Amino acid sequence: MDTQGMDTQGVVSGLAERLRAWWPVPGIAISVVDRAGESAFVSAGFANAETRVPVSRRTRFEIGSISKTFTAVLFGVLADEGKVDLDAPAADHLPWFAPSGGFRPITVRHLLRHTSGLVAGADALPDATARGYALRDARTWAEPGELFHYSNEGYNLLGLIVEQVTGESLADAMTGRLLRPLGMRDSAARITHEDVAELATGYRFQRDDRPPPPSAPLAPAGFFEYASADGNVLATASDLGLFARMLLGRGTLDGTRIIESERFRQIVAVPADSASSTYALGVDVEVVDGHTWLTHAGGMVGYRSYLAVDTDGGHGVAVLTNAPGECPVIDRFARHVLAVVQGAPADPTLFDPERIPDAQRHVGVHGTAPRQIRVEATGDDRLSLTSDGVTGRLYDSGDGRLVCDHPGWSAYHHSLDGRWLYGPESLGPGPSAPATPPHALAGHYRSYTPWYPCFSIVQRAGRLHMIAATGVEAPCDEPELIPLDDGTFRVGADPRLPERLTSGPALDGAVLWVDLDGCRYTRSFRDQPEP
């Protein structure tokens, strides 16, 4: 597809339809803006797939973690008002918050930058204050400011600080200082039953215990209220486009200054010593082809969104969908749309799920009989997997792993790291590691939290790994469980990581439940996902 001679609306519309043809995206709304206004609005698909209600300009979506950018700008406004010092300890405003571990106190800035050392969180508690108080004496293993570790719990604490310094609810403080001045009339700073008029129905994958191929069926995700600062905003695409234009204006929209220019500069400034992350205060700051991009993804249960603004190129894109929240292809799509509206050629093949990045390196025979697979190239970066005389297709999951529709090889993600990794399997040219006695923790675990519903603990080459097939807040790197002296397990190899898994009692050699940072998961009656 070539943009030359075609209007922006038509090009973006064509990309959206191609995306929906390949991926489970029930509905999508896209706002393309520049500093002067909205240059294109595109909608496709359905706000409700069962009733066939189409997405319209008034359709609202939950924007998930893009709310963190709103929270950061709100803190900039409150700093301009003299109500908060970004370098003050969080405990100055939340006196019950007394985590241990670091020599320095956790400041507001640390929370905004995800360098507090706090856990990522799985939203196990629905109330913001209860969630925050549960961290009152949290233990951290990284000095504040030392390690970037994305934390929803840190942003939840920021919302509680807003309420303390303003005497208002987070929703009222954000509405009065951001939404109303920006003219975001169809948006809200909380998600309640009273605020959901025109809200698109969110969708999740029908099965949450296996990696979903692109053709995986969906089901309505169900609605629940939400008011924490890590994901409290619902918006239309055009309203989010207004926020994007404010970012393009470096704190100003149509002559109205929302935040002082020097404060805005501080929000989008990445410290020179930040080698591990491009995250500033509530926003990713990237250099793309010499241009500065401000970006943030947003995942909620039933919604995936992305905001991208090129402050040098002068354009921004807001993409909102009611696709499952763990669909990173939406991020890739939005970034490509921003590039296209600034002159890059449109390339819908970027969203082809059968095109595997660096496909050729996966080709070969992995494992030894009787547990062996043959991976072959089938043209144009496509791959097939054959085992036991049956052939399936491999797909790009968007997070560095692969998904397969082979009936015997579909229960886990696939990845290649010297050996072919699949659940408990580690397949290479030589024999696998010697078999070890089954560990009492190995099995499949489930909770009722919609953010991180289930995971498997597998024994791979003598080590325990935690593997989640789906879940907005679930890790996608299959972290190793490291046994510690206190009887707990650290989730991940880096000793600075804060997540901890605690084993419950065992019955007949199998652990009955585990605790993951305050959220209990019980062994499922289906001990392992079936193919």
421-439 burial, b for 16+ CB within 10 Å, e for fewer? bbbbbbbeeeebeeeeeeb
If the chain, 531 residues long, is cut into consecutive pieces of 10 residues, what is the mean pLDDT of each piece?
60 96 97 97 97 97 98 98 97 95 92 96 86 93 94 97 98 98 98 93 96 95 95 98 98 96 95 80 96 98 98 98 96 97 93 93 93 93 96 94 96 95 91 76 95 96 95 94 96 97 96 95 80 58
Structure tokens given for 83: 């109500």
Q: What is the pLDDT of residue 289?
A: 94
Unique residue bearing structure tokens 């409150």 = 78
Structure tokens given for 481: 């469980």
Non-local (6+) Cβ contacts of 47 within 8 A are 27, 53, 54, 55, 56, 59, 198, 200, 201, 322
CA torsion sign for 367, 386, 463, 403 is positive
First-residue to last-residue Cα distance in the chain? 39
Q: What is the pLDDT of residue 2?
A: 38
Q: What is the pLDDT of residue 4?
A: 41
Report pTM: 0.95
Q: What is the pLDDT of residue 529?
A: 64
Structure tokens given for 465: 């790994």
Q: What is the pLDDT of residue 10?
A: 94
Q: What is the pLDDT of residue 1?
A: 38
CB of 294 closer than 8 Å to CB of 249: no
Q: What is the pLDDT of residue 276?
A: 72
Residue 453 burial (C-beta neighbours within 10 Å; 0-12, 13-18, 19+): buried
Helices and strands, counts by H and E, the chain: 10, 31
Q: What is the pLDDT of residue 199?
A: 97
Q: What is the pLDDT of residue 124?
A: 79
Q: What is the pLDDT of residue 530?
A: 62
